[in-house]
Amino acid sequence: MNTDELIRGNSHRTVLVVEDEAVNRELLGFILSSNFDVLYAEDGQEGLDVLQANRKHISLIMLDINMPHMNGIEFLRVVEADDELRQVPVIVLTSDKDAELDTLRLGAVDFITKPYDMPEIILARAQRIIEFVEDRQIIQDVEHDELTNLYNRSFFYQYSRRLMDEPGCAEKDMLALDIDHFRLINEVYGKAFGDEMLVAVAEGVRSVLGRHFGIGCRGSADQFFVLIDHSDDYESLYALVRDSVQNAAGQARVRVRMGVYKHVDVDKGIEWYADAARSACNSLRGTYTQDILIYDDALHQRELYEDRLIADMDTALREKQFVVHYQPKYNIRGDKPVLTSAEALVRWIHPEMGFISPGAFIPLFEENGLILKLDDYVWKSAAAQIHRLLTIVQESGISVKDLMLEVTESAYSQNMDQMMNTVRDLRQAGFMIEMDDFGSGYSSLNMLCLMPVDALKIDMKFVQNLLKSGTGYRMVELVVNMAQCLGVPAIVEGVEDEQQYQLMKQVGCDVVQGYYFSRPLDAAAFEEKLLNKP
């Protein structure tokens, strides 16, 4: 590399010369200034002041050992104790060979012997040290997540494989952690708060690694992985992360989930074990009585079952294995309940596995996006049935106002802005929007204030939970009053007996559905009921 290349390459680099002798200071400045910007200090204390004031701009320190006020050894001790300052490399300037070992132990990276009679060597050493440190920083930046400073997923996998391949490697466990409803937390509290929670999880991970040898990473978004020596005390490991998050969250409610794969080996690859731990972690969604789940054979069988459902979906759509049933809804505001509408519900009749519960395939398809295909199928089936029934009963066609579209919390908690925009577009097109499962999640009330709806649907389980308390009846009335204040009907699903029906009528509900009136019916049975309705 010629002099011109050095000048162009180092125009932004600054060297701090800490030297008490004026002649030596000037000589070093003369040598270095052709390639670097140079700052000067006459002793260690002044050097610290200059370093702290210009930390982000200083690429190298050239440090004399024997100085008044604060010598080079004392300077190095202060710098070594500071996580930020010790990132700047130090070349020691000395004629004392005995000082070399002490300065090495304190973080010095090279030596230049006095007198300074070989300018080209001094420049070459300065250049080499700066490039080495910068290359190391580049690697550090590539390997680590910028926000949390944990490894990123790619390097986590790479270093985990190396760790597992070491002779005599101790038995390992894989942990997966994430924050429940993280997207919703970002929406409600803001991205800056969300980032604070991610940093808090990372601090908890570091606390785990402080007690158990291992390696950790931020996988993506709110997902973290930890490979550590085996431990049966997962509650204590989880508590380290939970406490870190709770301390950072303050009054906000932020929940962390943890999945565990015990006894990792090299047979299936480190990625497989991370996915298994993540699967256990994901299985805790919607379960608020458990925060830790260990991956086991039952969970593995469930994964195989879900993979089969995903693989069979397109065939099921093509062969019309999905069947739409209709659960009647009754208006109860008058003296007698009157059949006014129905909820379209999908059922899967698999040729080999028989009836598959919607609770098995709908959440699965919601998670991977296949629900869009199923929605389209149910939409077309229900629309065709409505047209057929309208032709029979009213001898007219179908309009968008004949369709009530339900929005569940699981939909709007994933991407609030997108859901709000979609709901507005659908309402502008004339569709009616019904908020489903009101009260089933902690964000329902918030969404009710933000999202325009045409009906409020309340789960009977929510009503039953309210009635367990002494003030439960009044709370049910308040929920119904909310619907009345919004000018929308209050619908209750899951009404199963006379007592529940009378209670809902008493508190002022508009519409009910449930087994007390009718189970979901196939198209032919619903058509017959509709034609024979009171």
User: What's the pLDDT tens digit per position in 177-203?
Assistant: 999 989 889 888 999 999 999 999 999
Q: Where in the chain is the domain with CATH 3.40.50.2300?
A: 3-143
Report whether 32 contacts 15 (CB < 8 A). Answer: yes
On whether the pTM is more than 0.75, the answer is: no
Position 478 confidence tier, pLDDT thresholds 50, 70, 90: confident
Fold classification of 3-143 is: Rossmann fold (3.40.50)
Superfamily of domain 327-345+369-531 in the CATH hierarchy: EAL domain (3.20.20.450)
Tens-digit pLDDT profile for residues 462-474: 777 766 666 667 7
Length of the chain: 534
Phi first, then psi: give them for residue 518, nearest 5 degrees.
-170, 145
Amino acid 517: pLDDT: 92
438/444 Cα distance (integer angstroms): 6
Amino acid 1: pLDDT: 35
Question: For residue 417, which of 451, 367, 368 has the smallest C-alpha distance?
Answer: 451
Kind and range of the H or E run holding 90 = strand 90-94
Q: Where in the chain is the domain with CATH 3.30.70.270?
A: 151-295
Q: Per-residue pLDDT averaged across 78-83, rounded?
A: 85
180/318 Cα distance (integer angstroms): 36
* Count of beta carbons in the 10 Å neighbourhood of residue 212: 21
301/312 Cα distance (integer angstroms): 17
Phi and psi based region of residue 225 (left: phi greater than 0; alpha: psi -120 to 50; beta: remaining)? beta
At which residue do the structure tokens 């497989």 appear? 272
Q: Per-residue pLDDT averaged across 457-483, rounded?
A: 75
Provide the greatest CA pair distance for the chain. 109
In one-letter notation, the amino acid at residue 451 is: M
Residue range 151-295 forms a domain whose CATH class is alpha beta
Torsion angle of C-alpha atoms 281, 282, 283, 284, degrees rounded to 10: 70
390/402 Cα distance (integer angstroms): 10
